[in-house]
Structure formats: C-alpha cells, structure tokens
Structure 1
Amino acid sequence: MAKEKTGKLNALKRRAILDAARDVFSSLGMTKATMRLIAEEAGVTTGALYSMFGGKDEIYAALLEDSLKMLFLYVCEEAMRARTTEKSLSRSIRAFFDYYAVRPFEAQLGMHSFTEAPHSSLGKERDTALNEALLATLDVFAEKIGEYAPHLSPKNIGAERDAIFCALIGALTLKASGRDKSIGTNADTIVNSHIENLIYRLASK
C-alpha cells in the first residue's frame, strides 16, 4: 500500500515537473531554460528535480516521448473507427495532422524548435528511442497503405509513407507560421488535397 501511494505521488510530481518544463521551454526555449527555473515553476527543490531527471535534455526527451505515445494512440484509434481500407488510410493521415494542429507546443517539440538547432541530438540512446516511437506511428500509415493497395511492394509502401510524413510536416509548418494564408490557402485544404490525390493515385496503380 505504501509503495502504491509513493508511486502515485511520484507520478504526480513527475507530471507537475513536465508541465512546468513545458511552460519554461515555451517561453525561453531549450538553451535559456535551466533546471533551477523548471524547479521553481514546478514548486519543487532543485535536488528533488535532479532525483527524477538527470538534466533538461532528459526532461525534454520525456515530454517528447509522452507526446509521441499519445500521437500513436490517437492515430491508431482514428484508423480503427473506419469501416473501409480507404477511410482507414485517410483517417490515419488526417489524425496525425489534427493531433498536432491543436497542440502547437507538441508540434514544435517534435521538430526540436526549442533546441539550439532543429537537428539537435538528445543523446544517441534517446534519439533512437524517440525515432522508434515516431516510426511506430508512421508504420500505421504503411500498414494502411498496404491494406488499401496490396499490390504495392514494401519499398513503394515505404516511399509513400515517407512522402505522407513530409507532406504533413510541411502543412504543419505552414500552419504554425501562417504562411499558408499568405499563399491563399490553408493547411487543412493542403492535407485534404494530398489525401484525395494519394487515394486516387493508389487506386489507379
């Protein structure tokens, strides 16, 4: 019973720290954020913070890992709601965009916008784990492509999966910057058009 209570308290403390780090990263970025500032925002001592996380890179990775897990679940759930392979594919793609469209912090987190450089490393092991978490979601696309277009080779399925990801990141970047409006369109229209063209093209192959 005591262990269960301690576990719940630690989970609550971890959530409070991650929420605080989210606010600090949002306002200051990764470079200017410090463990002391995160501890102050979370209402814990610096020592208590270090007892749970080795540094701000570890906190950043934890935020990103949680986000990618939720993204995966959301994409899977939306794909499962569909009754046809076509709808399952289109819903999975749309779910990825919709998830990040209403969660701009998580979108920026995934693109490392808060780090010193967009391609900054969080450490080899963390990078590998986070990449695998992202690939799990992208592989949902691959699975749905294979179900809708079973004639495609694994290589072509992989290429289509990667193209979808690039299109989604492009649309999200346009939405975040407002550049979609400057060219007389919106990110939602771009995503819908990509999905429609993909479905048509795969059916025609």
Structure 2
Amino acid sequence: MNQVLASPRDIRQQALADARREHILSAARAVFIELGLEAVSMREIAKRAGYTAGAIYSYFASKEEIYGALLAESLERLNDFVNLAAEDSSVNQKRQTALEELRKSALAFYEFYRDNPRDLDLGFYLFQGLKPRGLTNEWDSALNARLRAAMKHQEAALMKLGCSKKEVDTELTAIFAHIVGVLLLNHTGRIRMFGKGADELITHYLDQLALRLPIKK
C-alpha cells in the first residue's frame, strides 16, 4: 500500500502546532510550580503563554490534561536518565553484581529528582491529601505505569538476588518511600534539623539494604 507523503505545507503547520503546544506547556509548568494545580486556571495559563483562553483549548481540553502532559514528559526524562545509568553500568562493569545494579538504579532515580527540583515539584503537586486529584483514572494509571517503569532495573536486581514477588514489591515500595521522603526533607530544607545530608542518608539506606537482602546462591 502506497503511503501518502505529507506536503511541505502540512509539515510546516504541524511544526508550528508542535511549537505552540510546547510553548503552552512551558508557560503552564512555570505557573503550576508558582501557584499550584488547584489555584491555576486555563485563563491564567493562556495569559502566561500570550494566547487567548480559547486558543489553548484547541491543544488541551483542561488544565488537568496540561498537567498530565507535563508530568508524563517529566517521567519520560526520568526513565531515560535511569536507563542511561543502567546502560553505562553494563558497559563499564560487565560482571556487575545484582547488588551493584540495584544500587546504581536506585541512585539514578534519586539523583534525577535531586538535580531537577522542578520535576520534583510537579510530582508533589499530583498529591493533595492522600489521593491524586484532578486527573482521570486513565491519566493516573498511565502516569503510574511510567513511574513504575523507572523502577524496573531495581525490580530486576531484587529478583536476581532471590527475593520473592512479595519481597520485591515490599522492597520497591520501601526504596521509593525512602527516596521520596529524603527528597522532600531536602527540598523543603527540613533536613538541616537532623544535621545530615540527603546523599548521606540515601547512601546509608542502600548500604543497610544490601546487608539484609537475601543473596541467591
């Protein structure tokens, strides 16, 4: 079957639409971080982007959809960062142990958010109270899947170490909770009251985790 090639005009129009969409996302990212999801309106996002409110509805149906797109983009960059760390490890350490694989992938997850505080802000704005607000079940499921994908190297390492499925789920949850807790303390400056650094706490946790994990014979 012959494919219909896009005309130069169609290509230009698509490039322009993509550029406008990215401009809207950039403006929305700034206003979400400044004001929070609940306080932001489509009108405010349009104002920051230099468009009318009606204009941005041709790209996004709601502020929640804009937020979902921003968070999806952030999670893709997280996955890329973690995957790159895993690839570097396999090249530089061909005989890398499962413990080393676990440590490097967990550190990469932590370092991405440590070094990209705006992405951390976006992630935290997803939660108000204890439940995700403002996103459809479809968006929530898709975003959770991308977040879980960023932990696939940790999951694989735990399985190599001989953890059962239940143990893998427990350890992944604990690693995630610990990383998020340290990031929150560091991000808000509350960590200073303990006289410890974020990197120090993450390293300590992973050291202790390595000592108690079962090692597959």
TM-score scaled by length of structure 1: 0.91
Deviation at 1:204, TM superposition (A): 5.5
Q: Is 1:130 aligned to residue 137 of structure 2?
A: no
Partner of 1:169: 180
CA contact (8 A) 1:64 1:130 kept: yes
Structure possessing the higher radius of gyration over alpha carbons? 2
Matched residue type, 2:33: S
**Long gaps (5+) in structure 1:** none
CA contact (8 A) 1:112 1:119 kept: no
Deviation at 1:81, TM superposition (A): 1.2
Distance 2:211 2:85 in 1: 21
Matches within 5 A, 1:82-121: 82=89, 83=93, 84-85=96-97, 86-112=99-125, 117=129, 119-121=131-133
Matches within 5 A, 1:54-203: 54-82=61-89, 83=93, 84-85=96-97, 86-112=99-125, 117=129, 119-121=131-133, 122-147=135-160, 149=161, 151-202=162-213
Matched residue type, 2:131: H
Distance 2:101 2:44 in 1: 44
Assess, with a 3 A threshold, how the Cα gap between structure 1 residues 8 and 118 changes in structure 2: closer, same or farther: farther
Deviation at 1:139, TM superposition (A): 2.5
CA contact (8 A) 2:163 2:214 kept: no
1:111 aligned counterpart, secondary structure: helix
**Long gaps (5+) in structure 2:** 1-7
Assess, with a 3 A threshold, how the Cα gap between structure 1 residues 204 and 132 changes in structure 2: closer, same or farther: closer
TM-score scaled by length of structure 2: 0.86
Deviation at 1:146, TM superposition (A): 2.1
Deviation at 1:44, TM superposition (A): 2.0
CA contact (8 A) 2:46 2:53 kept: yes
Partner of 1:35: 42
Distance 1:28 1:127 in 2: 22
Assess, with a 3 A threshold, how the Cα gap between structure 1 residues 153 and 116 changes in structure 2: closer, same or farther: closer
**Cα RMSD after superposing both structures:** 1.8
Distance 2:72 2:170 in 1: 25
Q: How many residues align?
A: 202
Deviation at 1:34, TM superposition (A): 1.2
**Identity of paired residues, percent?**
35
Distance 2:122 2:213 in 1: 32
Assess, with a 3 A threshold, how the Cα gap between structure 1 residues 172 and 125 changes in structure 2: closer, same or farther: same
- Following TM superposition, where does structure 1 have runs of at least 4 consecutive aligned residues deviating by more than 6 angstroms? none
1:4 aligned counterpart, secondary structure: helix
Q: Is 1:52 aligned to residue 59 of structure 2?
A: yes
Matched residue type, 1:27: E
